[in-house]
Structure 1
Amino acid sequence: MGTSTSRRMDDSDSRSRSDDSSDQDADLATILQYLIRRLVNSGQIHIISSDRDDSDDEFVAAVSPPKIETQPNTRKLDKSEISFSTKQTCGLIHKKGEERPNSVAAMISERERGMFGRPGFSFGDRCRITGSYLPNSMKVAATYQSKAFCGTYSRDGNHFLSACQDRNLRLYHTNDGKFRLGKTIRARDVGWSILDTAFSPDGTHLVYSSWSECLHLCRLYGDSDNQDALPLCPRERRFCVFSLVFSSDGREILGGANDGFLYVYDRECNQRALRIDGHDDDVNTVAFADNTSQILYSGGDDGLCKVWDRRTLSESHPKPVGILAGHMDGITFIDPRGDGRHLISNCKDQSIKLWDVRVFSGHTAQNNTRRAVADQNWDYRWQKVPKKLANPKKPLDGDTSVMTYRGHSVLQTLVRCHFSPAFTTGQRYIYTGCAAGRIVIYDALTGKIAADLKGHKACVRDVSWHPYKQELVSTSWDGTVGLWTYSGLYKMELEEEAEVLNTDDAGSKVLRRSQRIAQLKERMRQQMKQNSGNSNC
């Protein structure tokens, strides 16, 4: 499979620590080819080394946030099915299409007056309320001496797993509302860093990947040294898996690798089940579309997102059922919505795109994406974003995405993005890490930034939202893990609630309302005092 050397080296995650002399000779040849290509294409030369030593584990400072000159274009989104269904799920409209009250205070008032026709709030009502109190205050949950690469909650939210460049996986207990370290697992056969982790669906195992020909499976209970190597038997010697995920039944593990292939490992048969030639460059991200585990998504440095159907997939002649094109650079992460129809993709072109897999891209769009990616002559690991990417005048011809979100930086590493949880927000939000040390939360319905959380001093590579609580955990290259919660009542919220409390004419409740308003004011003062003393906020 023909691949571009320059694109192969276009990822900070793609560096090995091997000290083997033959590896160093091969690396030197690769570097020379890369420099020659850069000289021919752009006249710019950057001396780099593909091997890293322990002295290179210094933190990379955060870059400046991007300046977006254009307003989000929601024309396609406003007409889409996902817009209407999201508004219903998160309580913005009734099932009949009627609009909900605009504020939480107004919703409480209407409920008390019986306007909803029922004594309590519906699921949509609860999502509408909790979605109004997004996490906004950070406290440091853990500190490491190396870059934190991955961090994710378990499916039930009772555990949090972090992976650090110091080659340790740390499992925290979060079921009691605290953040307690339960176990530290020393990873094996690690080059550069642990690149990805995943919990098994039943919560009893975890798997991690690195620069290794094997995945490694660990039991979460019992001996922490009890690890099984899962060989993938690749053809290339310098091999790594950038992304991995369990199937819904836990039997299979899907991975995307730097050789352009997708790998499926069968845990029951203890062997590789599939090896799919998927992309013309690194496969940076893979995912299952839904709980059936039949539809696969993959995205790579070729800028394309591909959709695969296991039921019609042939290893000898792999052909995707469809391709989604519209990005102008390599895709760093994919997150499915779980409905089997929609997904989001984060990209080095500094955007997140929302896709409907029922609308595939034609050959024109695919070729335009390939040309756009081939024309890129910048290195996102250390160079500034070209203006044509940060603020493009128009989308690529043939772009079939439903919506594009801009305002975060995708630099230095494979920054990730996710849909917010259905339980607390109705998946109204899209959130992502940022090279500027931020967590950016977009309103999926408007494309605007709903929250811009600043608290880290270096790139935030991964963010995980608790499945049942309004809490975020961010993992950053500054070596910290941040726990974000909602803190404080804003003045507008206080005024709204006071207004509602004073609209009832029942004189017997006036004193109680006055006391409640006084309590709210005191609570706000205490929160402001607490936040002013928290340097991480």
Structure 2
Amino acid sequence: MSSSPITQPPVAPGTTATRGDDESDAAFESSHESPPGNAESGGSYAEHQDQGDSDDDGYVYHPAQEHADVTGNDDDDEEEDYDDEDEHDDEDDEDDQDYFDGSGGLEFELVIDELAPGAHDDEDDDDDDPNEPGNALQRRILQIIRGGGGRAHLGSQQLLALIQGHNVDDIDDDDDYWEPPRRMRPGYVPAFPKVPSEQGRKLMESGVFGAFDLREPDSKKKRLTRRLLDRELGLGDRTEQKTNLALMAQQMIPSSKPEMVIHYDDPVCCGQFSDDGNFFYACGKDFKVRMYDTSNPYNWTHYKTVRYPFGQWTLTDADLSPDNKWLAYTSLTSQVCFAPTDPNDTGDPYTLDLAGGMVRQGWRDAFPIFSIRFSGDGRTLVAGTGADSIVVYDIERREPLYNVEGHDNDVNAVCFADKQSPHILYSGSDDCTIKVWDTRSMSSRREAGAFVGHMEGLTYIDSKGDGRYILSNGKDQSMKLWDLRMAMSTADVERLDATKPTARRRYQYDYRFAEYHDYMWQPHPHDNSLVTFRGHKVQRTLIRCHFSPPGSTNSRYVYSGSYDGFVYVWNLDATIAAKIDVKSVTEGLRIPGYTPAARRREWMTLVRDVGWHPNAPLLVASSWNGPTMNAGTATLHSYNENDVDEAEPGMGLSVNEKIQPDEGLFNWRGLRGFMDDDDDDFF
């Protein structure tokens, strides 16, 4: 393992890097203010971040949406009068019936009470400011839906757009901009990629993704107990024994019943193990990173908590240096915090400004960082930013090497292709593309290749670490596997105009609030991915996906978190190998602000990140929880064939962030269904 280049406090010449002090406390407290939003869909910094707390009425405030409501164009509010009302009534009834038939039987009733001229509404406040967002929105809705003679002229597509929060000025109910063609309306099932995937099956049989025994059909796979017996008896030759051990590892997928549930007061944004499995970190929306000693994966110890002293909105990403001595973590600013993982070093974190110290104070003048990664030699950082750019930063020289605007939208994820090489890297963006870069030629500001196939923006990318395979998650509710050898050249991208299918989408899908329906999906005409995985939900936030580790799973699987509260594990042929239920094991937990009114609302769990232990059959799901998802958990799931566990402590131990048992965090309506009578002593 290479030595870390950060042998001293990384203070750049001048003021590029600073050491935090007590004065940062006030800055940290003030940093909890939400960042201002941008009204443009798909291009705002806030679009990719966690949502604010909700009130008991279910209204979720979002700066970008509020800004859009206030600044909407009011110049063309007048509705067209219809001369032939009877004819249009018949057409509207027919269109509405078509939409009703394809929408699952949903009906909407809009009731508007109007006052007679001069009348006074007792519920109105005389001091209401007509310029307030809420009043402006009410006026806007009334202007749109009012018609002559008290009749409302609002078609089905305009009503749907209004409910989804979109501008309906330019939407004609006869126009198919909002309503897809009849073959793609609700109820239509598009031709999704075939499952099982033939290409994925070939990858499984090739041995690149773990051992595969062609002599054992899927219907006659040996049970784990039989494989253990074969191992103890020493059956087979050396090759067969090695294959048997690999197949044993593949069968030990963690189960839904948790070993332990760690509770946090805020949502957990990401959590991962170190490459050796001795360390785990969890990043929270409260700008704190908790560090745990996991040298015994079934007996954790919390030993340190560090914070981002001037964060904006939330922590966005974190990464360990190759020697595990430093943890880099980021927020919506251009500064990266470095915290030593040594438990004896209790000082504040150091910071490096990836903008090179050339920006003015304030996050508006810098750029937010969505993703950060160390190179394999630990000498370089690469970051994906909200300025549509990829930043390559030299840690030893403490200066940016390149800042390339390589995408047409936010760069949500970056990673190196090979853990041993700092040269080839990938970037994934909201412009729906993955681009391949060679750091030795980035001065030309042109990518070496590209992948296209996602129809919505990317939320995360992960490299297998072999310099060849890459995995991506997209807002089109799909995960894709790519091969570097199949990357499209820059010339081919331009010749085929390969980004055109996603440059002008016929509908506007806002993954923060809206549901993604199957009829919205359509294949990319130039898709150069190997395998497409579906079934999970990529909504509300930038949900992550990963390759399973070679040690504990023999590299057999790919997996992802999901908005529906599950961890999805796939075989390489796109068939689902397992679904780990995180929502059920966290439902009903006692969290801050969990009032009786909140209990009447639906419990929600979103799994944002999943870390699989490199050596043990155990994974950790980092989640958001609660009716408004304003709390968090990290649930430890291990392989267990049965629900009965005789180990000490018993399964389902409920602890706080410092791994201290706390019965006050547990509600008997939740995990009770997963627990046995013998486990009661452990709460």
Question: Which bin holds the TM-score, normalised by the shorter protein?
Answer: 0.7 to 0.9
Partner of 2:442: 313
Match of 2:345 among 207, 210, 223: 223
Matching of residues 361-376 of structure 1 within 5 Å: 361=488, 362-363=492-493, 364=496, 366-371=498-503, 374-376=505-507
Instruction: State the Cα deviation string for residues 42-82 of structure 1 (Å, max 9, x = none).
Output: 7547679xxxxxxxxxxxxxxxxxx99967434551575x3
What is the percent sequence identity of the aligned residues? 29
Matching of residues 338-357 of structure 1 within 5 Å: 338-357=465-484
Deviation, structure 1 residue 29: 10
Deviation, structure 1 residue 395: 2.3
Deviation, structure 1 residue 162: 0.6
Question: Is residue 457 of structure 2 the alignment partner of residue 330 of structure 1?
Answer: yes
Match of 1:174 among 285, 294, 298: 294
Match of 1:31 among 61, 68, 72: 68
1:318 to 1:99, Cα distance in 2 relative to 1, 3 A: farther
Instruction: State the Cα deviation string for residues 104-125 of structure 1 (Å, max 9, x = none).
Output: 4554566677762249831x42
Find the residue that maps to 1:340 and give its secondary structure: coil
The code of the aligned residue for 1:486 comes to Y
Question: Is residue 245 of structure 2 the alignment partner of residue 117 of structure 1?
Answer: no
C-alpha separation between the residues in 2 aligned to 1:469 and 1:126? 14
C-alpha separation between the residues in 1 aligned to 2:433 and 2:71? 23
C-alpha separation between the residues in 2 aligned to 1:399 and 1:264? 28
C-alpha separation between the residues in 2 aligned to 1:169 and 1:5? 31
Question: Is residue 173 of structure 2 the alignment partner of residue 84 of structure 1?
Answer: no
1:286 to 1:532, Cα distance in 2 relative to 1, 3 A: farther
Deviation, structure 1 residue 420: 0.4
Question: Is residue 524 of structure 2 the alignment partner of residue 396 of structure 1?
Answer: yes
Question: Is residue 614 of structure 2 the alignment partner of residue 487 of structure 1?
Answer: no
1:135 to 1:35, Cα distance in 2 relative to 1, 3 A: farther
1:113 to 1:72, Cα distance in 2 relative to 1, 3 A: farther
1:140 to 1:35, Cα distance in 2 relative to 1, 3 A: farther
State whether residues 50 and 541 of structure 2, in contact with CA within 8 Å, keep that contact through their aligned partners in structure 1. no
Partner of 2:111: none
State whether residues 13 and 195 of structure 1, in contact with CA within 8 Å, keep that contact through their aligned partners in structure 2. no
The code of the aligned residue for 1:433 comes to G
Deviation, structure 1 residue 467: 0.8
1:135 to 1:365, Cα distance in 2 relative to 1, 3 A: farther
C-alpha separation between the residues in 2 aligned to 1:334 and 1:465? 16
Partner of 1:509: none
**Structure 1 unaligned blocks of 5 or more:** 18-25, 49-66, 492-526
The code of the aligned residue for 2:348 comes to N
Answer 1 or 2: which has greater strand percent.
1
Deviates more, 1:425-434 or 1:140-149: 140-149
Question: Is residue 223 of structure 2 the alignment partner of residue 186 of structure 1?
Answer: no
Match of 2:421 among 268, 271, 292: 292
TM-score scaled to structure 1, two decimals?
0.77
C-alpha separation between the residues in 2 aligned to 1:299 and 1:44? 31
Partner of 1:515: none
State whether residues 72 and 405 of structure 1, in contact with CA within 8 Å, keep that contact through their aligned partners in structure 2. no
Deviation, structure 1 residue 319: 1.1
Matching of residues 54-69 of structure 1 within 5 Å: none
Matching of residues 484-523 of structure 1 within 5 Å: 484-489=637-642
The code of the aligned residue for 2:435 comes to K
Partner of 2:517: 386
State whether residues 621 and 634 of structure 2, in contact with CA within 8 Å, keep that contact through their aligned partners in structure 1. yes
**Structure 2 unaligned blocks of 5 or more:** 1-37, 53-62, 75-139, 145-156, 167-188, 587-603, 626-631, 645-672
Find the residue that maps to 1:6 and give its secondary structure: coil
The code of the aligned residue for 2:502 comes to R
State whether residues 326 and 369 of structure 1, in contact with CA within 8 Å, keep that contact through their aligned partners in structure 2. no
Deviates more, 1:206-215 or 1:375-384: 375-384
The code of the aligned residue for 1:253 comes to L
C-alpha separation between the residues in 1 aligned to 2:559 and 2:458? 16
C-alpha separation between the residues in 2 aligned to 1:79 and 1:409? 24
Find the residue that maps to 1:83 and give its secondary structure: helix
Deviation, structure 1 residue 90: 2.8
Partner of 2:616: 469
Deviation, structure 1 residue 271: 1.5
C-alpha separation between the residues in 1 aligned to 2:390 and 2:198? 32
Question: Is residue 320 of structure 2 the alignment partner of residue 199 of structure 1?
Answer: yes
1:211 to 1:185, Cα distance in 2 relative to 1, 3 A: same
1:170 to 1:10, Cα distance in 2 relative to 1, 3 A: closer
C-alpha separation between the residues in 2 aligned to 1:403 and 1:28? 35
State whether residues 197 and 574 of structure 2, in contact with CA within 8 Å, keep that contact through their aligned partners in structure 1. no
Instruction: State the Cα deviation string for residues 364-384 of structure 1 (Å, max 9, x = none).
Output: 472244236x43412111111
Instruction: State the Cα deviation string for residues 224-248 of structure 1 (Å, max 9, x = none).
Output: 3332211122766262111111111
State whether residues 322 and 378 of structure 2, in contact with CA within 8 Å, keep that contact through their aligned partners in structure 1. yes
1:30 to 1:4, Cα distance in 2 relative to 1, 3 A: closer
Find the residue that maps to 2:605 and give its secondary structure: coil
Instruction: State the Cα deviation string for residues 376-416 of structure 1 (Å, max 9, x = none).
Output: 41211111113334xx4x52212111110001110110000
Partner of 2:22: none
Aligned length: 459
The code of the aligned residue for 1:206 comes to L
Question: Is residue 373 of structure 2 the alignment partner of residue 245 of structure 1?
Answer: yes
1:532 to 1:9, Cα distance in 2 relative to 1, 3 A: farther
State whether residues 559 and 570 of structure 2, in contact with CA within 8 Å, keep that contact through their aligned partners in structure 1. yes
The code of the aligned residue for 1:7 comes to G
Match of 1:5 among 37, 40, 60: 40
Question: Is residue 251 of structure 2 the alignment partner of residue 132 of structure 1?
Answer: yes
1:16 to 1:350, Cα distance in 2 relative to 1, 3 A: closer
Match of 1:277 among 380, 384, 405: 405
C-alpha separation between the residues in 2 aligned to 1:256 and 1:237? 17
1:281 to 1:4, Cα distance in 2 relative to 1, 3 A: farther
The code of the aligned residue for 2:310 comes to D
Question: Is residue 274 of structure 2 the alignment partner of residue 154 of structure 1?
Answer: yes
Find the residue that maps to 1:31 and give its secondary structure: helix
Partner of 1:442: 570
1:110 to 1:243, Cα distance in 2 relative to 1, 3 A: same
Instruction: State the Cα deviation string for residues 325-377 of structure 1 (Å, max 9, x = none).
Output: 010000000011111111110000000001111112443472244236x4341
Find the residue that maps to 2:244 and give its secondary structure: helix
C-alpha separation between the residues in 2 aligned to 1:83 and 1:490? 31
C-alpha separation between the residues in 1 aligned to 2:676 and 2:50? 43
Instruction: State the Cα deviation string for residues 285-333 of structure 1 (Å, max 9, x = none).
Output: 000001212110000100001111112221xx31111110010000000
The structure having more radius of gyration, on CA atoms, is 2
C-alpha separation between the residues in 2 aligned to 1:107 and 1:28? 56
C-alpha separation between the residues in 2 aligned to 1:34 and 1:164? 33
State whether residues 533 and 574 of structure 2, in contact with CA within 8 Å, keep that contact through their aligned partners in structure 1. no
Partner of 1:510: none
Question: Is residue 321 of structure 2 the alignment partner of residue 213 of structure 1?
Answer: no
Partner of 1:413: 541
The code of the aligned residue for 2:439 comes to R
